[in-house]
Copies of this chain bind each other. A is one copy, B any other.
Amino acid sequence: MPTISKEDYLKSIYTLNLQDDKAVSTSNLAAKLEISNAAISEMSKKLYDLGLISYEKYKGVELTKEGKRIALKILRRHRLWELFMIKVLNLNWDEVHDEAEKLEHHTSDFLIDKIDEYLGFPEFDPHGAPIPSKDGVLPEMPKLIPLNNCEIGRKYQVLRVVDSPSELISYLGRIGMNIHSNIEVVEKLSFDNSIIVMLDNVNHSLSEKVVDKIFVKEIEED
């Protein structure tokens, strides 16, 4: 198994690669991991030699099959720990991320499988993020629509809030917006790309930054 640093690299490459499906650039990775570009370059060579990423100088990196397998393993541990702390220990969502960030590197397969079992083999965490199974398989995911692509007057169901600062997380909690909340897009303000949505008959203005984190699906009305 790779070191903690290597696990973090692989996880970050995975999540950055999900956002846009291209090779991940050195500087993007450096920003995400909050370390220097130089350190990324060095590590890229090492991970390439280990067969965990593909890497061409100046062209960014992508996970190999084995690299992805490990990234999903870390993601599994992270999300299961988060869910466990929330469900069992009654921590708040914004309290668990940093803890999980540490525990994910120090949990055996044996232990995480026990936690998985205890939780009843959940497929999604409380923010809609999919949890890889023991075998590294992601659950079937409905097609996610970015909230900023939605049409005015239409109703949607919130399916996913991607990893966000804990401030945003607790804000959304306060206004009652959770996974599976139903919302209606009331207005889209193009001058600042904010969106006004109706939730439980109350209007809320969501800034561009917030909107970018939220993904929904259409609700079939019949």
Give A contacts to B, CB under 8 Å.
Answer: 85, 88-91, 95, 98-99, 102-103, 105-108, 110-111, 114-115, 118
Contacts and interface: CB of A to CB of B under 8 A. Distances in A.
Contact of A106 (B88, B90, B102): B102
Contacts of A115: 89
B88 A110 contact: no
A135 to B, nearest CB: 21
Give how many copies assemble into the complex. 2
A152 to B, nearest CB: 43
B103 A118 contact: no
Contacts of A107: 99, 102-103
Given A105-B106, A106-B106, A111 B99 contact: yes
B102 A118 contact: no
Contact of A110 (B90, B95, B102, B105): B95
Contacts of A85: 111, 114
Contacts of A88: 88, 118
A107 B104 CA distance: 11
Nearest to A103: B106
A91 to B, nearest CB: 6
19 contacts: A85-B111, A85-B114, A88-B88, A89-B111, A89-B114, A89-B115, A89-B118, A90-B114, A91-B114, A95-B110, A98-B108, A99-B107, A99-B108, A99-B111, A102-B107, A103-B103, A103-B106, A103-B107, A106-B106
